[in-house]
Chains A and B, each alone.
Chain A
Amino acid sequence: MNNKTNGLGSSNWEWEIRPETSWRNISLVELYSYKDLLLQLTRKEFLGLYQQTLLGPFWALLQPLLTVLTYVVVFNKVIGIPTGGVPPFLFNLIGITLWNLFSEIFLQTSKTFTQNAAIFSKVYFPRIIVALSALWLQILLFGIQLLLLVAVYLFYFFTGQVDFNAGQGLLIFPIIAITAGIGFGGGLIFSVLTAKYRDLLSLIQVLIRLLMFMCPVFYTLSMVPQNFQWLVNINPLSALFEYFRFAFLDVGSINEIQLLYSIGFMVVIVFFGIMLFNKMSDKLIDIL
């Protein structure tokens, strides 16, 4: 028998279900109690990704390698975009590795509701766990790609084609965190929107493509004509790519104000994303 009876009798409840979810109703205690589920979901997705495949997790390496080769051929050999003395392969690999982190987190998080409708309509757990597990999975895959990048970098370093600066190198970690944050926050907002409007799913693809061209992934900001630079600068991701490249290669035009803009944007979008997601997640089940 439950011996929790107290003097007040029925007035002491452990939980309540009300029609509305408040904006600030995020229980960290509850979230923490689901940490096993978070790890398990990440594991499930990771294992599920490579079941019955020929190369398994090597796909995580093959995909950026093939993209880089294409970019080198198209942008550097055919179109002739200069890379400022940096080997084109390394130049593009740096940009694409960080870009993949952003675009995959953004895309996978935005599918939270549409891809998990079946589970969400049958069992309760904090919905954000699924989004967080998508985030972890992408960070894990990014880790594999980062190892590749480091390996390639070391190759160029030992052949004397690039210089290494340890102080600058450490910059990559905060840059990775900010990039992941923007992707996650944006993904949360779009997961709510696509749950309601399925037609936005195709818009996300276009949006990611557009953002990529507005972002110094395969070019540097200094190559952009002066009167078009604002177009790149309004993209909060731009400074991150300049800094990321700077950390590895000591090239590019870095700007602290632009970086602060990125950080501010990240904080706002993550907070807004989490609040919107939490507020809407119960209502969305009705229309999934």
Chain B
Amino acid sequence: MSDIAIQAENISKLYRLGIIGSGSLRRDMQWWWQRNILNKENPNQYIRGGKKVDNSEVIWALKNVDFELKVGEALGIVGHNGAGKSTLLKILSRIVKPTEGIVRGRGSISSLLEVGTGFHSELTGRENIFISGHILGMKKTEISRKFDEIVDFAGVEAFIDTPVKRYSSGMYVRLAFAVAAHLEPDILIIDEVLAVGDAEFQKKCLGKMNEASSKSGRTIIFVSHNLQAVSNLCSNALWLDKGSVCARGNAKTVINQYLSTLQKQNWIKEFKTLTEAPGNDFIRVLYTELSPHFVDSFSVVDIRTPLTVKFRFYNALDGILLAVGVHLFTISGECIFDVSHDPLLYKKGIIEGECNIPGDFLNDGSYYISLIFVEDSSKQLYYYEECLSFEVADFRENINWYGKWMGYVRPKFPVITKQSEIHE
């Protein structure tokens, strides 16, 4: 049976708004006087026009969070902004106390909640390596031993005796991360630090993390919005939503569950009557649907997923030559494609259609679709803008790089290479 590194039981964190936040002695004393001596209500409760507003309003940043982490396990924490991820990390790092619950554990903990904690801008790179290292919990001998390695990792040899305030921001961040990357605690807590530096450096960082978890058997807790990185680096994941645990288990499963709730929106638009349907005197669009053909059991649209756009509309003009075009745009408004068909003769009535977007074609990102209805391939009858919007998640396998993949499309044209000459 494996050892347990961290066990969290019923962790809750309450943040009070108002009372503690008053920050002024006069108001707190006035409050105390009114309440304890005069037995009155909190005077700060009456704020807007005599209407009673509860000043002791509270927020549960975390509510009854339980989990266990085995030694050597890498746990990824995902969730929306404000879901309580950072609060949980702060409790585990002993920065703040939980309001309720107990965390127990074994082994030393280091946490990286920001890059460059404890850096002093007036001091040189050399000084800062020592200061930051000590603040993060390293011993002097440990830092001296790894000093060259840290400088090398950051790539700042030439500037090591220059005050860090003269560093470029990239150099500063690299040096700061380099110190952190050489920590060797039993348990490492990392909050979104990979969002720094250029692609090259990010690759280095993730490589270092991978090394820490898979080779050195370190226990890791990792919060990131880069879901690809989480699912590749972590064996398990915890999904927090509004302070509670939504799901916990195998990283890929949890992340796909999380993604699918993020994605389910605007996939079907249906209108019952012609009058409420969008359109004009010629065209009324009754129904549009984006229907994905999922490649595995998770209902997540990722770059591999083929999509079908289905639509149904009412044509009010009898006997016209009509063509429907599908326009796909990125969220920033660039058109990816504009496809249509040869005009066909239609009678007045309901017309159905669909358009297949193959898998392994779109890159990850947010997209929207517009429909255009054209008579005689020249006269626009109706343009239905942004009728469907959807997101495509990333998917990578066996790739040790998690930066943003470039390009609007990501087709699988093979690049073929072969060795044509061998130089011994």
Contacts and interface: CB of A to CB of B under 8 A. Distances in A.
B105 A13 contact: yes
A123 B163 contact: no
Nearest to B5: A2
B20 interface: yes
B135 interface: yes
Interface in A97-124: 119-124
A19 B118 contact: no
User: Which of A1, A15, A48 has most chain B Cβ within 10 Å?
Assistant: A15
Interface in A33-63: 36-37, 40-41, 44, 47-48, 51-52
Given A51-B123, A122-B113, A124-B111, A5 B3 contact: yes
Contact of A2 (B71, B97, B118, B136): B71
A285 interface: yes
Interface string B72-113: 100000000000000000111111111111111111010101
Interface in A1-20: 1-2, 4-5, 9-10, 12-20
Contact of B107 (A2, A44, A200): A2
A4 B94 CA distance: 23
Given A48-B122, A51-B163, A20 B24 contact: no
Interface string B165-187: 00000000000000000000010
B25 interface: yes
Contacts of B104: 13, 15-17
B121 to A, nearest CB: 9
A197 interface: yes
Which range holds the interface residue count of chain A?
A: 35 or more
A204 to B, nearest CB: 13
A251 to B, nearest CB: 42
A44 B127 contact: yes
Contacts of A120: 95
Interface string A119-142: 111111100000000000000000
B3 A286 contact: no
A197 B28 contact: yes
B23 interface: yes
Contacts of B28: 197
Contacts of B248: none
B377 interface: no
Interface string B286-327: 000000000000000000000000000000000000000000
B134 interface: yes
A73 to B, nearest CB: 35
Contact of A17 (B4, B98, B118): B98
Contacts of A1: 3, 71-72, 217
User: Which of A9, A123, A282 has most chain B Cβ within 10 Å?
Assistant: A123
Nearest to B115: A122
Contacts of A15: 104-106
Contacts of A123: 93, 95, 111, 113, 117-118, 135-136
B122 to A, nearest CB: 4
Interface of B: 1, 3-5, 7, 15, 20-21, 23-26, 28, 71-72, 90-107, 109, 111, 113-114, 117-118, 120, 122-123, 127, 130-131, 134-137, 139-140, 163, 186, 217
Lowest 4 CB-CB distances: which A-B pairs, in order? Answer: A51-B122, A124-B94, A197-B25, A17-B103
Interface of A: 1-2, 4-5, 9-10, 12-21, 36-37, 40-41, 44, 47-48, 51-52, 119-125, 196-200, 282-283, 285-287
Given A19-B101, A124-B93, 9 more contacts: A9-B1, A10-B4, A13-B105, A13-B106, A14-B107, A15-B104, A18-B102, A122-B111, A282-B97
21 contacts: A2-B71, A4-B3, A4-B106, A13-B106, A17-B92, A18-B102, A36-B140, A40-B140, A44-B131, A122-B111, A122-B113, A123-B111, A123-B135, A124-B93, A197-B24, A198-B23, A200-B25, A282-B97, A283-B97, A287-B20, A287-B23
